[in-house]
Amino acid sequence: MISAEDLIALVRNYNPKTNAERIARAYEFGMQMHEGQFRHSGEPYFSHPVAVAAILTEQRLDDATIITALLHDTIEDTKANYGKVSELFGDEVAKLVDGVTKLTNLQLSSRETKQAENFRKLFMAMSKDLRVILVKLADRLHNMRTIKAMRPEKQVQKARETMDIYAPLAGRMGMQWMREELEDLAFRVLNPEGRQSIIRRFITLQRETGDVIHRITGDMRHELEKAGIEAEVFGRAKKPYSIWRKMQEKDQGFSRLSDIYGFRIITGSEEDCYRTLGAIHQRWRAVPGRFKDYISQPKSNGYRSIHTTVSGRDGKRVEVQIRTRQMHDVAETGVAAHWSYRDGVRSENPFAVDPAKWISNLTEQFDSEEDHEDFLEAVKLEMYSDQVFCFTPKGDVVKLPRGATPIDFAYAIHTRIGHACVGAKVDGIRVPLWTRLKNGQSVDIIPADGQMPQVSWLEIAVTGKARTAIRRALREVDRERFIKLGRELARAGFENVGRKATDKALDTAAKHLRLKDRDELLARLGSAELTAHELVEAVYPELTKDDGDAISPRRAVIGLEPGQKFDRAPCCQPLPGERIVGITYRGKGVVVHAIDCDRLSEYEDEPERWVDLHWHSGTHPAVYGATLDMTIGNDAGVLGRICTLIGEKKANISNLEFVDRKPDFYRLMINVELRDLEQLHSLMLMLEAESDVAAVERYRESARTAAKVG
């Protein structure tokens, strides 16, 4: 553990005017509060806050942030409280420590709804003072560096949370070095064999080719000297996880992967950046499609740099990043550059993003989300996405995540433009709405009066803003129809347990499910965002419990190895009572197929993956889904009667989708939850006898259909 004097010396390196006495007091107070506490490794607990503070000195942060790091666990884990911290170190530090404490208590890897609520709280805390998340990220980094002292299951949980949340968040804030280290530390826990494999291949490559980095760095320095450009050149091999991800994305082996080396050139001016680019391209052949100019079009977190990939020695591709010293400072610390000190004063970096503006842009669209899952989806889309820059016909820049389409572009301009979109031109050529946009393209949206969003747009759009606007518009258009359908489903669901779907029962369910009112509940039920089972369970949980004698779904299949998990194949949806076979998947357990499933032909040449299985012979609960493909008459009350008939057979309707609408008939897919094959046959027999049912059959995905969908 470093001493108070050593920590103060680290701060003095970039801030000679630091209040050393205040930092020393915070060090002493933190040590007293944590006295007698130890980490899993056996070290004194206070060594952790000190290490977090040391990490933050690398980003040249202000005294308040360093003191917050020293005290960040005092309110949560010691007898200290907000008032005491405020009295000794001021209200600013107390608020920061309290903010970090609240973030620590958030369970960001919990159930979806709760996770979404906690993401809201995370962004709210960030919006008040972004330094809170800087301390939290440094806290997570040190915990990941020392994770081996934790229990194995805790290591996996923390590593997955780091990979899913904290690493992308660090990247979104422009702190790329921290993102890479967090990812690699998590990768070490989640896939140690994969990481070791990458490292072994690197060692073999270096043995075969020698020090490639040293040679290419020397070549670049020589070219820059010839061009009269003063610059620093650095080279490095990319992190194991970065290489692993590229191998997965490109479906290539290590030997075929090209850009596993990265080089960085730091120049004295923006003009020299472009001169350097010219010198590099003159000496080495540029790889088409791998050039990005983030100087003229900066990222939203302030990142500026020129990226290019060239064919270097022996035809090996190398990535080159070119930037000035000020751009480099922002690239290293991202949004944190706003608080950076140099020589005792705030570093006035013209490229540092105003944190208030940055967090406002990031959270603006999330505030309008009414639905927890919609909010969570929007947050993750924005956090995990890289960006492309496109232009309006007037030359305005629109920033979008990679993979965005003209639909996303239209909604980025204005919701009204998105709703009215009927087509688009990209660089003057008419293109389909599902076209993926690329950097630098000019996009012209073609609107039309009376146009409304289509359901298919949800499959096309990738931005949270577009998907939310589309969902909201679709809800409004179909609201009355969904409410009517939802009422029929609710009636059938309640009758299934011997109750009536009264207004009072529906109001109670809406309140329990935290929905605005009864109509909102019915609309969601009719649009399949809510199931009848969930509705009834909200009011009568005791009536929806499985029979005590029923076989648990976890042990419904016989023939598995102890502890081995299974899933039912979605293509054939096997039910108890059918002959079944299992196909093993590495890391996923066993997938159970019906013996006559078309998809089994794909595994004929892999007999070692087949497992002989059969269903338990006892009574099963009605939790196994099957899909019915039905054609019914388009008359008043028909759908209601169908729902009632299904309910009478003690089957729950979990989803309902109209596939085709004709003036006289509807074709629809109904997902029902059943006990077994016998209940399915009984249900279908009864539906076939209904005069308003023109056709009914069990829907199963054929191999050809699956290939088409995939």
Q: Which residue numbers are catalytic?
A: 76-77
Task: Specify whether the CB–CB gap between 190 and 156 falls below 8 A.
Answer: yes
Strands (E), 343-412: 345-346, 387-391, 397-401
Task: Specify whether the CB–CB gap between 150 and 40 falls below 8 A.
Answer: yes
430 sits in which H/E element: strand 429-431
Find the helix packing angle between 91-104 and 63-71, rounded to 10°: 50
Residues in contact with 15: Cβ distance below 8 Å, sequence separation at least 6, in sequence order: 60, 62, 63, 341, 342, 343, 344
DSSP string, 524-548: HHHTTSS-HHHHHHHH-GGGSSPPT
Task: Specify whether the CB–CB gap between 535 and 486 falls below 8 A.
Answer: no
DSSP string, 484-500: HHHHHHHHHHHHTTT--
- DSSP helix/strand/coil, 514: coil
Structure tokens at 478: 């179909």
Taking alpha carbons only, the member of 593, 657, 647, 642 closest to residue 622 is: 647
According to DSSP, the residues that pair with 364 across neighbouring strands are: none
Q: Quick one: residue 245, left, alpha or beta (phi over 0 = left, psi -120 to 50 = alpha)?
A: alpha
Helix residue ranges, H only, 13-61: 20-33, 47-57
DSSP string, 533-597: HHHHHHH-GGGSSPPTTSPPGGG-EESPPTT--EEE-TTT---TTS-EEEEEETTTEEEEEETT-
Task: Specify whether the CB–CB gap between 613 and 558 falls below 8 A.
Answer: yes
Rg, C-alpha atoms of the chain: 30
Distance CA 490, CA 537 (A): 12
Residues in contact with 271: Cβ distance below 8 Å, sequence separation at least 6, in sequence order: none
Residues in contact with 164: Cβ distance below 8 Å, sequence separation at least 6, in sequence order: 109
Structure tokens at 162: 């780091």
Q: Is 387 exposed, middle or buried (0-12, 13-18, 19+ CB in 10 A)?
A: middle
Distance CA 404, CA 408 (A): 6
Residues in contact with 406: Cβ distance below 8 Å, sequence separation at least 6, in sequence order: 421, 424, 426, 431, 433, 435, 437, 443, 445
What are the CA-CA distances from residue 609 to residues 570, 578, 583, 604, 606 (Å)?
18, 20, 5, 10, 6
- DSSP helix/strand/coil, 149: helix
For the chain, how are helix, strand and coil distributed in percent, rounded to 5?
50, 15, 30
What are the CA-CA distances from residue 432 to residues 411, 418, 444, 522 (Å)?
16, 15, 12, 35
In degrees, rounded to 5, the angle at the alpha carbon of residue 532 between the alpha carbons of residues 527 and 533 is: 135
Distance CA 305, CA 324 (A): 8
Task: Specify whether the CB–CB gap between 672 and 628 falls below 8 A.
Answer: yes
- DSSP helix/strand/coil, 393: coil
